[in-house]
Amino acid sequence: MSEVERVPIFRFTEVEKSSADDVVVTEFPLTIVFNNQELVTLLCSPKNLDYLAVGFLSSEGLLKSKDEIKNITVDEQRGVVRVETEAENKQAGELVFKRLITSGCGRGTSFYSAADVGGQRKVESQTKISALEVFELVSEFQHRSQIFRTTGGVHSAALCDTKSILVFSEDIGRHNAIDKIFGECTLKDIPTDDHILVTSGRISSEILLKAAKKNIPLLISKSAPTDLGVKLANDLGVTLIGFARGKRMNVYSNDWRVVSHG
Amino acid sequence: MSEVERVPIFRFTEVEKSSADDVVVTEFPLTIVFNNQELVTLLCSPKNLDYLAVGFLSSEGLLKSKDEIKNITVDEQRGVVRVETEAENKQAGELVFKRLITSGCGRGTSFYSAADVGGQRKVESQTKISALEVFELVSEFQHRSQIFRTTGGVHSAALCDTKSILVFSEDIGRHNAIDKIFGECTLKDIPTDDHILVTSGRISSEILLKAAKKNIPLLISKSAPTDLGVKLANDLGVTLIGFARGKRMNVYSNDWRVVSHG
């Protein structure tokens, strides 16, 4: 299935109306069924649907490692990914519902209770990176972002070491793009510890927490963070870098991981 | 409460590290309690919290008009808005949960069932607008976007007639910005029929449906639409305008409402 779609449009200027074709991104409803329980329907870009499903389950704490997975089936026609695990489904229906309401994109989180954030371990990784290495990663990241350049409506994410991009993804949703990364890492046994996450999107508290849960010490964005994102980054030991553009960047927390030279 | 926050940062270039202050947007967790039932916690900008709560309830179909509202209390300290209505709470707990899972920002919608979209009435409004009027509205819209210019992390929305902006809002979430508009319209008895909605954000299927539910015939964005947004716009009789920048725009559906001259 194509990630972009050609549609007929009319272009208007002050004095002219002309028909043309435009390319828009595909928005695909994907339903995730986990151990025969329909969990959620995500709106996503129709690529790497298995990564998205596994990454979503992993981010929500419903799946820890590849070994737990008994079976994954992707039905692209019907827009369904089914994931089955060896373990019994510990989550009762209501628990799953409650959990899902707390997920996603500014539409409700409950981790502001001290218990939830308090339960999150601080990231202790001693990984360091030079400013130059950040600029080079961001430059490579920008070059990889194909769909965005075509249609202007897609987010990208990448897992990197200090030298290069290891895993790259694109999706219409900034949460989905990151979950696709985590899903690929889960399925390919790529560790996220000591690694770097680059995202095209704003760094809100939810994105920050998502990274901290994966023990990621460095989070880089070309966009702005929120105050709560900065606060959590300080509390959870994450180095938060925003407005990374060209040869400039802002470091909002734990700047000891960024060295000026080297 | 301030919509922006000053935080200490380090600016890095290839060769320099200097301490500075940066302004980031505030991300505020707001819990909406509807008839003594805790519905959801939204992450939002801490302004016009009553508009956001009422708009959210309205968009979710839980509230039809101002007359139904018995009481609204805003507790800014604790981040809670309580809305009470005259009518009994028709929604059982589970129904509310199900509904909320279907809301918001790419994290699950269920309106793809034919029943849901089929139940949505087509927008029949005969409102027309000239290309020049669109360019002028968008220009006014850009000028009003204060927080965005300061911090680069906020969405705006506006309800307009063909000549000017009637209601304007900003929020870190594009859904929230639109819900704030609808909340203000509900509380001030401002009709949305025959009016125009301008948004800074991408037009996904969820945004399109949100507008169609309010019987809004024209939806304008400086950003891109998705293919599903365009499809729904065609099906539901909405004129969808994207990439409205300067003196150019793309019309994706129902172009008969846009006239070249006048």
Asked if B101 and A101 count as a contact pair (C-beta separation under 8 A), the reply is: yes
Of A53, A101, A74, A106, which Cα lies nearest the Cα of A1?
Answer: A74
Question: What is the pTM for the complete model shown?
Answer: 0.90
Give the mean pLDDT of B228-246. 96
Query: Which CATH code is given to the segment(s) B129-259?
Result: 3.40.140.10
CB B179 within 8 A of CB B55: yes
Which stretch of B4-8, B32-36, B65-69, B96-100 has the lowest confidence by average pLDDT? B96-100
Task: Report whether pLDDT(B110) > 50.
Answer: no
Nearest-CA distance B250 → chain A (Å): 5
Interface-testing mutation among A17, A24, A77, with chain B (most B C-beta atoms within 10 A): A24
How confident is the model at residue B98, as a pLDDT? 47
Q: Where are the domain boundaries for CATH 3.10.20.10 in chain B?
A: 28-114
pLDDT tens, residue by residue, A179-236: 999 999 999 999 999 999 999 999 999 999 999 999 999 999 999 999 999 999 999 9
Mind listing the pLDDT tens digit for each residue in B56-67?
999 989 999 999
> Cα distance from A231 to chain B (closest Cα, Å)?
10
Percent of chain A predicted with pLDDT > 70? 85
Asked if B255's CB is within 8 angstroms of A226's CB, the reply is no
| Per-residue pLDDT, B92 | 40
Which is the catalytic residue, given B44, B105, B160, B185? Answer: B105
| pLDDT mean across residues, chain A | 88
pLDDT given at position A116: 53
Shortest CA distance from A42: residue in chain B? B108
Q: What is the mean pLDDT of residues A128-155?
A: 87
Determine the pLDDT at residue A55: 97
When CB atoms are compared, the residue of A5, A106, A175 closest to B176 is: A106
* pLDDT attached to residue A148: 66
Task: Give the residue from A44, A59, A101 with the most B CB atoms within 10 Å of its CB, the best one to mutate.
Answer: A101
Question: What is the nearest CA distance from B77 to chain A, expressed in angstroms?
Answer: 14
Span A122-131, mean pLDDT?
Answer: 96
8 Å CB contact of A227 and B152:
no
When pLDDT is averaged across residues B142-171 and rounded to a whole number, the result is 88
Would you say A198 and A157 are in contact if contact means Cβ atoms under 8 Å apart?
A: yes
Looking at chain B, which residue has its C-alpha nearest residue A177? B106
pLDDT in tens, A200-213: 999 999 999 999 99
Q: Where in the sequence of chain B do the CATH 3.40.140.10 domains occur?
A: 129-259
Residue with tokens 């069932």: B113
A118 class by beta-carbon count within 10 Å (0-12 exposed, 13-18 middle, 19+ buried): exposed
- Write down the pLDDT at residue B15: 86
On the question of pLDDT at A160 being above 50, the answer is yes
Q: Residue A250: is its pLDDT beyond 80?
A: yes
Confidence check: pLDDT of A29 > 50: yes
| Tens-place pLDDT, residues B66-108 | 999 999 999 999 999 999 998 765 554 444 544 444 333 434 3
What ranges make up the beta strands (E) of A172-217? Answer: 196-199
Burial class of residue A261 in the structure, from the number of CB atoms within 10 Å of its CB (0-12 exposed, 13-18 middle, 19+ buried): exposed
> Could you tell me how many CB contacts below 8 A there are between chain A and chain B?
235
What is the topology classification, in CATH, of domain A28-114? Ubiquitin-like (UB roll) (3.10.20)
Measured distance CA(B156)–CA(B141) in Å, rounded: 8
Structural tokens at position B194: 């025959």
**Residues 6 or more apart in contact with residue B63 via CB below 8 angstroms:** B54, B57, B69, B83, B85, B186
Least confident piece of the model among A33-37, A84-88, B48-52 = A84-88
